[in-house]
Structure 1
């Protein structure tokens, strides 16, 4: 039975999640539609632009993304403590960048409310605070915006997305890195790009350009950092699993070579060394990185982590336990 998405999010289990959303009626989110002959390549930038806006407003950090022809992938981290640290005023101002807000909150911001009205305004703001670290609201603000924009361009009404977004919990560091690499390698696997750094509208290209000294474009979303020269000496710097950027780029490159050449285990020496340091079995890693025809498991991680997640989310079983090899 289909479960509500919020039941798949357990912040006690993990703050990292993989989200996938696919277009309906063979519609193309971007690229050239071979059925109609129309080119929707410009829509890729819509996704990136919207992610840039939402990443600045929500307490949800973007770890990886890939915008494909008729679907997109995101790996995000929900940063609950950041949202709880914001003042009521900051929460209201952030929320009202996306929505008009209520009259009572607008009056409260101007200091024109009575004591009772102020309490009511603060109650409303408290609800907004919870929504600013809610994955469902983040995806709603992304998908509704894109659907309306696409339908307006196509001069049509109705559903644009195939279904609700798919959500997968990433329960440990290895699952996070595995899923990020899987997302970043989507264009390579689809033969849309020869190398990860040539994969347009992906986080790996954005990270690779940064290592080459190219200034970040203003229209790119802010990514949660990996450890590099700017963060290595900063204890307070927030990074993904304290993992080195160059190790991650080598990992993605080596895994991409193995998948494209269809040589299971034939991974580059640099990436293999990263796998050894992480204690990850090379064959299992490559097997999990291959395209999947079956249903995506709702969570990835070690067997113990999967059992804990099942208990936290009221499940008796988590599919995908047979993939666990570390």
Structure 2
């Protein structure tokens, strides 16, 4: 039995979520299918471009992503405050980038709606769109629907391209967020298709590194790093970019080894700040996809009523 999305996603519990979509077919989303000797590598660009396009419309930020051969990962941040700050016309402009305008909305924008009933209908529609602009379900729907249509057209077939629903996990605290982002960015390294984070094609960590090399302050289309939590915290991830890149590099090196046989004399400072021991961090980074909730026991307990749950389930981080 599937779980209601209201029990998986609630901005009152956390604005951060790890989502995964997998192909249902034998054929690949991307990469090379040795059985049919067909390359689907170009589809990685489809997913990456569409992901950034949808994020540019929605009030949802991309924290991390990795596009693999038959699935992709994203870590998303729901920016409800930004959605509430949009004017009605800004909501309309954003929504119509990806949708055809209803006749009534066209008349509303042109100032041709005269009756109170029409005005109320337009405002109700705009409010619905405002809510959808910070809905992960709608975000994933518009991302996956586009890719499925393009893939079906290219494969000259019909039917389901994705599994019935995308998988989502609530990231309830800084520990969970850091672990999920590192897990996503290191997917190609862990799968053995890349040696280092900077050589991992179609990942957010490579995009961030490329931006640094270009002298850009932040990577385009990605949620920026704001530094350590503090008063008057600017919008962004609660880490320093340099700390995070060091953490990803350190973790990637040790995921290739047997963590149980490795004794680290110097771990990245960010692990100390988050209260992670070396072994606990490495174990967490290999078990992220276990359960719908990720966080400390206290964080999970706090989130349960917001997610309409009673039992503590998921990955509990010490």
TM-score band w.r.t. shorter chain: over 0.9
* Cα shift readout 1:159-190 (whole Å, capped 9, x = no counterpart): 00022000000000111011000000000001
CA contact (8 A) 1:306 1:318 kept: yes
Q: Displacement of 1:313 after TM fit?
A: 1.7
* Inter-partner Cα distance in structure 1 for 2:261 and 2:106: 59
Who is 1:210 aligned against?
211
CA contact (8 A) 2:259 2:282 kept: no
The alignment status of 1:56 with 2:56, answered yes or no, reads yes
* Inter-partner Cα distance in structure 2 for 1:13 and 1:183: 22
* Cα shift readout 1:14-70 (whole Å, capped 9, x = no counterpart): 000000000012221111012211000000000111012111110000000000000
RMSD of Structure 2 on Structure 1 (CA): 2.4
Q: 2:237 aligns with which of 228, 236, 240?
A: 240
The alignment status of 1:169 with 2:163, answered yes or no, reads no
Q: Displacement of 1:239 after TM fit?
A: 1.3
Normalising by structure 2, we get a TM-score of 0.93
* Inter-partner Cα distance in structure 1 for 2:164 and 2:81: 30
Q: Displacement of 1:216 after TM fit?
A: 9.5
Relative to structure 1, the CA distance from residue 46 to residue 325 in structure 2 (aligned partners, 3 Å threshold; closer, same or farther) is closer
Relative to structure 1, the CA distance from residue 267 to residue 27 in structure 2 (aligned partners, 3 Å threshold; closer, same or farther) is farther
CA contact (8 A) 2:185 2:205 kept: yes
* Inter-partner Cα distance in structure 1 for 2:273 and 2:114: 60
* Inter-partner Cα distance in structure 2 for 1:140 and 1:119: 27
Who is 2:155 aligned against?
154
* Cα shift readout 1:99-141 (whole Å, capped 9, x = no counterpart): 1021111110011110422222111111111111111000000
The alignment status of 1:288 with 2:256, answered yes or no, reads no
* Inter-partner Cα distance in structure 2 for 1:270 and 1:213: 30
The alignment status of 1:277 with 2:269, answered yes or no, reads no
* Cα shift readout 1:204-254 (whole Å, capped 9, x = no counterpart): 00111122236699xx860000147xx99x96641101x100100000011
CA contact (8 A) 1:257 1:267 kept: no
